[in-house]
Structures are given as structure tokens and as C-alpha cells.
């Protein structure tokens, strides 16, 4: 064996100077005390951690970063963007403007609360930091119009909603942030199920580490992400890692732009770095997919982060993660000067263009009256090709995972399909809490694929003939729609606040009220935007754009 190299140390993820624009939350609950050897210690009361967390969770539910909003505006201004790209971007900007009012959250899936903190060695607390942070999560989710999504496992098979959105995921590290021993720094995230479900880990080998094979691999895997997590995405790819879990964690941080200040070249210190050239190539690759911002075009992704990590010689993990159109994260810090939180954009209206809907509509918009009998609705939809943009008005039935499971049990027991699923289109969704004076809380679509297993059974029994949700469907849904004369309509993933304020006029429970947001609802909608994705002839818009071509190579 060769002689050992000289000792050297570098953090795996060395970040540069903090360029964040912060705002002061409070200067209470922090103090500076002097200790032995002239050292200065920062004391932080539990109440300061709780107040910061509650404020952060409020802000990321309602506000976005200015850079993200500027990227949405850039889609509208790009002449190469498709009409559907521009329509989605405009709807997301309108949604951001409504959410910034502080009443309706930008997405109905207000997510799992995730907090990562780095506590300097001269920061003193009572030691129960995770509990104080969790209390802040509790305060935000129980006081605001947010949704409870966390399920407590009572047995291996039985679960119950915790009714508070706890537990939170809290990861705390003993580390001087940015070299400051008297500072405590945080990353706050709210990760919805749709976005979290598009985190992938692949265990590859050295054979992947050449330009041609890497681009072929990425084309195949990135197409599989689909649109269920509400693009345009902030895409993160991590190649390598000291372990599989470290690769995945790094991908999550990179998708939140937390690692933007990494070095852009490697060294024998074996630290991670960003490959800016590969980022540009992958971004261009995604723009050629044709998937676009959900319904065809260039803007599958806003941007791409590619991080290269060291690896064991026998392992090559590749992690992929996305941050969706509800790009919810903020950094924060506690220093001797107070408690500080990243300044998010509170006036997103300044990013709205001076354009009308008509100037964005290069294609026909078909208005569909949902008050008509189901056969007439299907006959109308049958006239138009996939990707046609629709405007829906009238009644919809709302049902998702648990309601579908209960109805399937009834069918298996020989009971008939409920009449409401025979008479009406079904919207896969689950609302957030309803603010006072509103017809509903934020009420965006759920990932359609979770209901795929029920479609053939339901359509054969006369139900679910027209379905409305977000994302792509499996081949079995396309075949069932062709056999039974059904349709799947894609709703824009992301603008849940705008749908609640502008499109949903009435909400009532039809069945299973005890399920809370998972109940079967009936809603009245007006000018609800949608697109034909799967038709009654066996056509599926996403079928072609998700097939890898495998002809790309790195230039």
C-alpha cells in the first residue's frame, strides 16, 4: 500500500458568505453573558425559538422569494415559452398575490414542517431546542389557515391524524455557522407530499461517470418526475455521497438554494462542489422534453443545481429532488443583535405583467357547463384534442385517497356506485382550513396517480367518467378511459389560493364528514381552469413527453 496522504480537513459542504436579506423578528429572549477566558456566550430563551419558528412557518406559507417570482415573470416575457407555459406562470403569480394577503396559504398541502439548525459552540439554551421549535410549528399550524397532514401510527395498519401537523422534522447540529461560535442559524421548509414524493435515490456505479452516459441517465430519470409535484421545478441532482442518506439530504438542501454558495470546482480535500456547466446542460435538456410548465412547453424547470460529492469507490449514489411551485423555505439566524428571518416578498403584485388573459390565449379555450348530464359533458369533451384548455363551471364532487378506498369497499360488497360519482366529475383534492368569510380554504388538486388503481373499477360501475387532478396517469387509466368513454382533465398544480378565492363558490360535505379534509365534498366552481390530458380515444398528452429518447450526449 502507498503511504498515507497528509491530514487535511474540509467540510463536505463548504458554503460562502451569507448574502441573505434579513428582517428583525424580535430582540427579546436573547442576551450575551461573559464566561471564563474572556469568551462571550449567547443565551437564547425557548420562547425566542418558538416565536422564530411560528413566524417562519407563517411566512413560507404565504410569501415567496423575489428571485422565484422573477423567474415566473420571465416565463411570461419569454417569446419562446408556450401559451400554456405563460398561462400557468400567470396563474401562479396571481396565486402568490392572493396568498400574500396572509389569509389563504399558497398551497392547500401546507406540508411537513422541516427545520435544520446549526448551533454555535457559544450558544446556550435550556437544551430542549427541538421541543421549543415544535411548539412554534404547533402555534403556526393551529392558529393559521393551514392543513394538518401528519398521521400518527397507532398500529402497523391503523393511523390517525394528529390534529396539529406535528411531529415536525427537526435536525440540529453542533457547528459554528459561518465560523461564528455565538450564532444559531436555521433553514425552515414546508414540504408538501407531492414534492416530497418526487425525491429519488439511484445506486449507480463508476460506469455512470462519463458525459454521454450521465446525460442519457438523466434524460430517462428526469422525465419520470412528471408534473404531479407542480412544476416549474427547482431541480437538484447530487452525484456521489459518503452514504445514500447524505446524498438525499444534500439534494433537499440544494433544491432550496441552500447550497448555492458551494465551490464550483473540486480539490483533494474532497469537499462537495457545484458543476455549473452540467447545470446549464441539464436545464437545456429539460426544456427539450416538451413537458413544460405542466401542459407542454419549455419550462419544466426554472433552474438546476448539480452537486458532486465524494464517494466510496464501490458506491455511486445519485439523488434527485425538486422544490415545486410552492417554493417554501426561508433561512434565519439568532445573533447577539436579535432574532432574524429571511425577508421574503410581501408585494408580489409588482411581478404581475400588464397583460390580459386574451393576450396569453393563442389556443382555443373551451367553456364546459358541468350542470349538464354526464353524457352531454363527455360528448362535448370528445370534440377536442388532448392539451385543449378548458374553463369549467358548475358542480364537482371532491374525493381522494380514503374516500376512494371506502367506496371501493362498498363496490366489493355488491353495493352500487354512489349516484354523485355517476352524475358529476370528480376532483381529487383536500382543502385547507376555511377562513371566516370564505367559501373554502386553499383547495388545489391532489396528485392523480394515487387514485389510478380505482379508475377501472369505478368507471366500469358508471362513476369517475370525468376526473380532475394534477400530474400524469398510468397506462391503465388511459386504457380504462378508452374502454369506458372517460376523460382525465389536468388542473394546474400550485394556485390553490387563487382557486379558493376566484373559482370555488360553494362547498358542502356529501359523505364521510368524520374524515375531515378527506371527506366527500360537493363544490360549485366558476371558470375553473383545466386541460384535457387523457381522452376517450386512448390519447394521453404525457405518454409521448415522458418517453426517453436516449440520443443525447454532453457537448
Give the distance, in angstroms, between the CA of residue 278 and the centroid of all CA atoms in the same chain: 24
The answer to whether 264 touches 308, Cβ cutoff 8 Å, is no
Backbone angles phi, psi at 103, to 5 degrees: -105, -55
Q: 355 pLDDT band (50/70/90 cuts)?
A: low
pLDDT reported for residue 472: 87
pLDDT reported for residue 362: 45
Select from 1, 123, 146 the least CA-distant residue to 60. Answer: 146
The pLDDT tens digits of the residues spanning 249-262 come to 999 999 999 999 99
Residues 223-232, mean pLDDT to the nearest whole number: 92
Residues 146-157, mean pLDDT to the nearest whole number: 95
The pLDDT tens digits of the residues spanning 171-209 come to 999 999 999 999 999 999 999 998 999 999 999 999 999
Q: Which cell goes with 232?
A: 416549474
The pLDDT tens digits of the residues spanning 25-51 come to 999 999 999 988 889 999 999 999 999
Q: 544 pLDDT band (50/70/90 cuts)?
A: low
pLDDT reported for residue 455: 97
For residue 488, pLDDT over 60 is answered with yes
For residue 552, pLDDT over 80 is answered with no
413: number of Cβ within 10 Å = 7
536 or 38, which is more confident = 536
Residues 274-292, mean pLDDT to the nearest whole number: 96
For residue 403, pLDDT over 80 is answered with yes
The pLDDT tens digits of the residues spanning 45-72 come to 999 999 999 999 999 999 999 999 999 9
The pLDDT tens digits of the residues spanning 433-446 come to 999 989 999 998 98
What residues contact residue 358 under an 8 Å CB cut-off, 6+ apart?
Answer: none
For residue 524, pLDDT over 90 is answered with yes
pLDDT reported for residue 35: 87
* 3-state SS track over 41-101: EEEECHHHHHHHHHHHHHHHHHCECHHHHHHHHHHHHCCCCCHHHHHHHHHHHHHHHHHCC
171 or 495, which is more confident = 171
pLDDT reported for residue 363: 54
pLDDT reported for residue 18: 94
Percent of the chain residues past pLDDT 90, beyond the cut: 86
Domain ranges, ordered by start, for the chain: 13-62+102-191+326-346, 193-325, 360-534
355 or 365, which is more confident = 365
Cα–Cα distance for residue pair 322/195, rounded to 1 Å: 6
For residue 359, pLDDT over 70 is answered with no
Torsion of CA 243, 244, 245, 248, to 10 degrees: 120
Cα–Cα distance for residue pair 170/224, rounded to 1 Å: 30
Select from 398, 532, 526, 541 the least CA-distant residue to 464. Answer: 398
The fold for domain 360-534 equals fumarase (3.20.130)
pLDDT reported for residue 492: 87
For residue 549, pLDDT over 60 is answered with no
Q: 130 pLDDT band (50/70/90 cuts)?
A: very high
Amino acid at each position: 500500500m502507498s503511504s498515507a496522504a497528509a491530514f487535511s480537513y474540509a467540510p463536505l459542504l463548504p458554503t460562502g458568505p451569507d448574502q441573505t436579506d434579513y428582517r428583525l423578528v424580535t430582540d427579546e429572549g436573547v442576551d450575551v453573558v461573559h464566561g471564563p477566558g474572556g469568551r462571550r456566550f449567547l443565551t437564547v430563551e425557548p420562547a425566542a425559538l418558538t416565536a422564530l419558528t411560528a413566524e417562519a412557518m407563517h411566512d413560507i406559507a404565504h410569501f415567496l422569494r423575489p428571485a422565484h417570482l422573477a423567474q415566473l415573470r420571465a416565463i411570461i416575457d419569454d417569446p419562446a415559452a408556450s401559451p400554456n407555459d405563460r398561462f400557468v406562470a400567470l396563474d401562479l403569480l396571481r396565486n402568490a398575490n392572493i396568498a400574500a394577503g396572509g389569509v389563504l396559504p399558497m398551497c392547500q398541502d401546507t406540508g411537513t414542517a422541516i427545520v435544520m439548525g446549526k448551533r454555535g459552540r457559544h450558544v446556550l439554551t435550556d437544551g430542549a431546542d427541538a421541543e421549543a421549535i415544535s411548539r412554534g410549528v404547533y402555534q403556526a399550524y393551529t392558529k393559521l389557515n393551514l392543513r394538518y397532514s401528519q398521521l400518527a401510527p397507532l398500529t402497523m395498519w391503523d393511523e390517525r391524524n394528529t390534529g396539529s401537523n406535528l411531529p415536525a422534522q427537526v435536525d440540529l447540529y453542533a457547528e459554528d455557522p459561518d465560523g461564528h461560535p455565538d450564532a444559531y442559524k436555521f433553514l425552515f421548509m414546508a414540504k408538501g407530499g407531492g414534492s416530497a414524493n418526487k425525491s429519488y435515490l439511484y445506486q449507480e456505479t463508476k460506469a455512470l461517470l462519463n458525459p454521454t452516459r450521465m446525460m442519457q441517465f438523466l434524460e430517462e430519470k428526469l422525465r419520470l418526475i412528471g408534473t404531479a409535484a407542480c412544476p416549474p421545478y427547482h431541480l437538484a441532482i447530487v452525484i456521489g455521497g459518503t452514504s445514500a442518506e447524505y446524498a438525499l439530504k444534500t439534494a433537499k438542501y440544494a433544491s432550496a438554494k441552500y447550497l448555492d454558495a458551494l465551490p464550483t470546482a473540486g480539490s483533494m480535500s474532497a469537499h462537495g462542489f457545484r458543476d455549473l456547466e452540467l447545470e446549464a446542460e441539464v436545464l437545456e435538456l429539460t426544456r427539450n422534453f416538451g413537458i413544460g410548465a405542466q401542459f407542454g412547453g419549455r419550462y419544466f424547470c426554472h433552474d438546476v443545481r448539480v452537486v458532486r460529492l465524494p464517494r466510496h469507490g464501490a458506491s455511486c449514489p445519485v439523488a434527485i429532488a425538486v422544490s415545486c411551485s410552492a417554493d417554501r423555505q426561508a433561512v434565519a439566524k439568532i445573533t447577539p443583535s436579535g432574532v432574524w428571518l429571511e425577508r421574503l416578498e410581501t408585494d408580489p403584485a409588482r411581478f404581475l405583467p400588464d397583460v390580459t388573459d386574451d393576450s396569453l390565449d393563442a389556443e382555443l379555450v373551451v367553456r364546459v357547463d358541468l350542470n349538464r348530464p354526464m353524457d352531454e359533458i363527455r360528448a362535448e369533451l370528445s370534440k377536442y384534442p388532448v392539451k385543449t384548455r378548458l374553463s369549467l363551471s358548475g358542480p364537482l364532487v371532491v374525493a381522494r385517497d380514503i374516500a376512494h378506498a371506502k367506496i371501493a369497499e362498498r363496490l366489493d360488497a355488491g353495493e352500487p356506485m354512489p349516484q354523485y360519482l355517476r352524475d358529476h366529475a370528480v376532483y381529487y383534492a383536500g382543502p385547507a382550513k376555511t377562513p371566516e368569510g370564505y367559501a373554502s380554504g386553499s383547495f388545489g388538486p391532489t396528485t392523480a396517480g394515487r387514485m389510478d388503481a380505482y379508475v377501472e373499477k369505478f368507471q366500469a360501475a358508471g362513476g369517475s367518467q370525468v376526473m380532475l387532478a394534477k400530474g400524469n396517469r398510468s397506462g391503465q387509466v388511459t386504457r380504462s378511459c378508452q374502454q369506458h368513454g372517460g376523460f382525465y382533465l389536468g388542473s394546474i398544480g400550485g394556485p390553490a389560493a387563487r382557486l379558493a378565492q376566484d373559482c370555488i363558490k360553494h362547498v358542502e360535505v356529501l359523505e364521510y364528514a368524520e374524515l375531515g379534509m378527506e371527506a366527500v365534498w360537493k363544490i360549485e366552481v366558476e371558470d375553473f381552469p383545466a386541460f384535457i390530458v387523457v381522452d376517450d380515444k386512448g390519447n394521453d398528452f404525457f405518454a409521448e413527453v415522458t418517453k426517453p429518447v436516449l440520443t443525447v450526449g454532453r457537448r
